[in-house]
């Protein structure tokens, strides 16, 4: 299938809800950054050791969740096109919490800040975490745009998911270091 | 008409070819049996798997009918479309669907449908489902490619055939491409545009919309 028309060559694109907007529009920034997050998660998964099929599957499930969120970011709240979108399931944030708790069981409590880094997989998880925080900020900005109320409820659910995902990625990074016998480096003030 | 319902989950299916009707020397309507439980919204498509190849085809039937109807151009040298143009009646095809979001949602804005060639298929489905009152520009090379003309003209508020290679005959025919018609004959305004077919048409019309129809909504389905 041909994926290009050139319709966007003059700096505009169409939202899922049909509006033509500049490519520097807040909505495009938000789903562009979400796309970046998805790509970084792919890099993270690709760099995991062979013996981590469980973690790989978890990351892939998250990548699918991000696609679902991306469709909402590309849609003006309240537009009729939103009726065709699959809802953002709040259960997915609860699922992330379960994964965080499971990884944390084997980690020693933190007493100081740690430097992002260590094993390459841990370093990628930290990169993903910071991109995730940026996406979260973008979504907060979108949710603050009118119209308020029910129409932005899906963005509220996306914010919860992204907030939880950032925490997940932080713990994921520590988990990777632990699996590779690398101690997190504490920050020395 | 409603937009795509969330519970229409695409899935694999097998369906036999029931009939083939030639619409022009190179385009045909292929009717497949509708597999049990297969439901779709006008504007959606199926993906057919023929050997190692998979190709998408928009559904031209009304939902709720007994069959899946496709409107297919036999492309010179094209593997799947040529195969489908010859496959025996009764052949079982494997596919999946329904896919896609190119569905019509009514709004207070005028709806302008623009198709090239077989890109008219999703609009045929919409018309068969009872959608009315739209403007439809159908861009084709020759009169023989104006399939479904009567059906579409009956549902549309304005039906304009845009012929790029033949001199026009009739009041609903325009000599030239759809872009030229939009530029010259359609007054500027805020509309809902649904574009389907060749990517070059979609690009040119999209640019024209940016220049001449600011604030409009644009929904596109690229065939090739
Ligand atoms: C979302 C979607 C919906 C589609 N719906 C339809 C449909 O309803 N009816 C239909 O006929 N096709 C449709 N197509 C195109 C179809 O999927 C195939 O690409 C087409 O049948 C050619 O496949 P092929 O294997 O015969 O030729 P290929 O060898 O794959 O293609 C050869 C060339 O044929 C040209 N071509 C492709 N489609 C067409 C066409 N429709 N008319 C003229 N030239 C073409 C292109 O230049 C392409 O590069 C759709 C495509 C997409 C992505």
Domain check: are B69 and B157 in the same one? no
pLDDT at A152: 77
Q: Which of A1, A175, A151 is nearest to A81 (CA)?
A: A151
Q: What is the pLDDT of residues B146-180, one digit of tens each?
A: 999 999 999 999 999 999 998 777 778 999 999 99
Number of domains forming the structure of chain B: 2
pLDDT-above-70 percentage for chain A: 97
CATH topology of domain A20-74+85-186: Hypothetical Protein Ta1238; Chain: A; (1.20.1200)
pLDDT at B5: 46
- The rounded distance, in Å, linking the Cα atoms of A55 and A99 is 10
Q: What are phi and psi of B168, to 5 degrees?
A: -75, 150
Does B105 reside within a domain? no
Domain check: are B117 and B211 in the same one? yes
Q: Quick check: A13 and A20 in contact, CB under 8 A?
A: yes
End-to-end CA distance of chain A: 55
pLDDT at B117: 97
Q: DSSP state, A90? A: T
Domain check: are B140 and B214 in the same one? yes
- The rounded distance, in Å, linking the Cα atoms of A171 and A134 is 18
Comparing alpha-carbon positions, the chain A residue that sits nearest to B3 is A84
CATH number at residue B171: 3.40.50.80
Alpha helices, DSSP H, located in B10-107:
79-86
Interface subset of A 51-80, CB within 8 angstroms of B: 80
Q: Quick check: A27 and A73 in contact, CB under 8 A?
A: yes
Domain check: are B51 and B153 in the same one? no
Comparing alpha-carbon positions, the chain A residue that sits nearest to B196 is A5
Q: DSSP state, B120? A: G
Q: Quick check: A86 and A154 in contact, CB under 8 A?
A: no
Domain check: are B79 and B144 in the same one? no
Does the CB atom of residue B28 touch ligand 1 within 6 A? no
User: Rg of chain A's alpha carbons, rounded to an integer?
Assistant: 18
pLDDT at A146: 61
Q: Tell how strand B27-33 and strand B173-175 pair up.
A: unpaired
Domain check: are B136 and B165 in the same one? yes
Q: Which of A163, A177, A173 is nearest to A96 (CA)?
A: A163
Range of the domain at B115: 111-222
Domain check: are B83 and B15 in the same one? yes
Q: What is the pLDDT of residues B34-91, one digit of tens each?
A: 999 999 999 999 999 999 999 999 999 999 899 999 999 999 999 999 999 999 999 9
Nearest to A20 among B4, B103, B209 (CB): B209
Domain check: are B6 and B91 in the same one? yes
Q: DSSP state, A85? A: S
* Atom number, ligand 1, closest to the C-alpha of residue B100: 1
Does B104 reside within a domain? no
- Tell the burial category of A70 from Cβ atoms under 10 Å away from its Cβ (0-12, 13-18, 19+): buried
- The rounded distance, in Å, linking the Cα atoms of A33 and A9 is 20
Q: What is the pLDDT of residues B85-115, one digit of tens each?
A: 999 999 999 999 999 999 999 999 999 999 9
Average model confidence (pLDDT) across chain B: 93
The two three-digit tokens of residue B28, written as one number: 């045909």
Nearest to A80 among B3, B210, B220 (CB): B3
Domain limits, chain A:
20-74+85-186
Domain check: are B49 and B69 in the same one? yes
Interface subset of A 84-103, CB within 8 angstroms of B: 84-87
Q: What is the pLDDT of residues A34-92, one digit of tens each?
A: 999 999 999 999 999 888 889 999 999 999 999 999 999 999 988 989 988 999 999 99
Supply the angle between the helices A120-144 and A26-46 in degrees, to the nearest 10.
160
Q: Quick check: B138 and B173 in contact, CB under 8 A?
A: no
Q: Which of B117, B70, B151, B124 is nearest to B222 (CA)?
A: B117
Pocket test residue of B73, B79, B99, B222 for ligand 1, highest count of atoms within 8 A of CB: B73
pLDDT-above-90 percentage for chain B: 90
User: Which of B36, B69, B99 delimits the end of a domain?
Assistant: B99
CATH number at residue B53: 2.40.30.10
Domain check: are B218 and B117 in the same one? yes
pLDDT at A26: 95
Average model confidence (pLDDT) across chain A: 93
Domain check: are B207 and B148 in the same one? yes
Which SS3 state, helix, strand or coil, does residue B98 take? strand
Domain check: are B95 and B117 in the same one? no
């Amino acid at each position: 299938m041909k994926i290009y028309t050139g319709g966007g060559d003059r700096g505009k694109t169409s939202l899922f809800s049909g509006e033509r907007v500049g490519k520097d529009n807040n909505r495009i920034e938000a789903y562009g950054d979400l796309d970046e997050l998805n790509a970084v998660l792919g890099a993270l998964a690709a760099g995991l050791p062979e013996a981590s099929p469980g973690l790989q599957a978890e990351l892939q499930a998250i990548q699918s969740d991000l696609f679902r969120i991306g469709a909402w970011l590309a849609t003006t709240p309240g537009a009729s096109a939103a009726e065709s979108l699959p809802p953002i399931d709040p259960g997915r944030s609860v699922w992330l919490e379960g994964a965080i708790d499971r990884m944390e069981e084997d980690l020693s409590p933190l007493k100081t800040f740690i430097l992002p880094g260590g094993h390459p997989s841990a370093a990628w998880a930290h990169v993903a975490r910071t991109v995730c925080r940026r996406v979260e900020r973008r979504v907060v900005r979108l949710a603050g745009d009118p119209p308020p109320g029910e129409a932005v409820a899906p963005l509220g659910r996306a914010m919860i998911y992204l907030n939880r995902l950032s925490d997940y990625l932080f713990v994921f990074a520590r988990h990777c270091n632990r699996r590779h016998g690398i101690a997190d480096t504490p920050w020395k003030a | 008409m409603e937009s795509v319902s969330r519970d229409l989950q695409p899935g694999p299916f097998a369906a036999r070819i029931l009939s083939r009707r030639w619409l022009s020397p190179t385009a045909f309507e292929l009717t497949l049996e509708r597999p049990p439980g297969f439901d779709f919204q006008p504007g959606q498509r199926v993906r057919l798997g023929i050997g190692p190849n998979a190709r998408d085809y928009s559904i031209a039937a009304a939902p709720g009918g007994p069959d899946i109807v496709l409107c297919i151009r036999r492309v010179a040298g094209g593997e799947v479309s040529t195969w489908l143009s010859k496959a025996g009646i009764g052949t079982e095809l494997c596919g999946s669907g329904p896919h896609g979001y190119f569905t019509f949602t009514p709004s207070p804005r005028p709806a302008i449908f623009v198709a090239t060639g077989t890109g008219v298929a999703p609009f045929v489905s919409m018309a068969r489902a009872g959608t009315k009152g739209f403007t439809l520009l159908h861009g084709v090379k020759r009169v023989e490619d104006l399939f479904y003309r009567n059906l579409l003209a009956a549902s549309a508020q304005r039906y304009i055939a845009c012929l790029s290679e033949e001199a026009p005959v009739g009041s609903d025919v325009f000599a030239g491409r759809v872009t030229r018609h939009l530029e010259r004959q359609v007054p500027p305004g805020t509309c809902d545009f649904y574009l389907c077919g060749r990517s070059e048409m979609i690009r040119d019309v999209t640019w024209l919309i940016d220049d001449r129809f600011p604030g409009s909504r644009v929904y596109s389905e690229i065939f090739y």
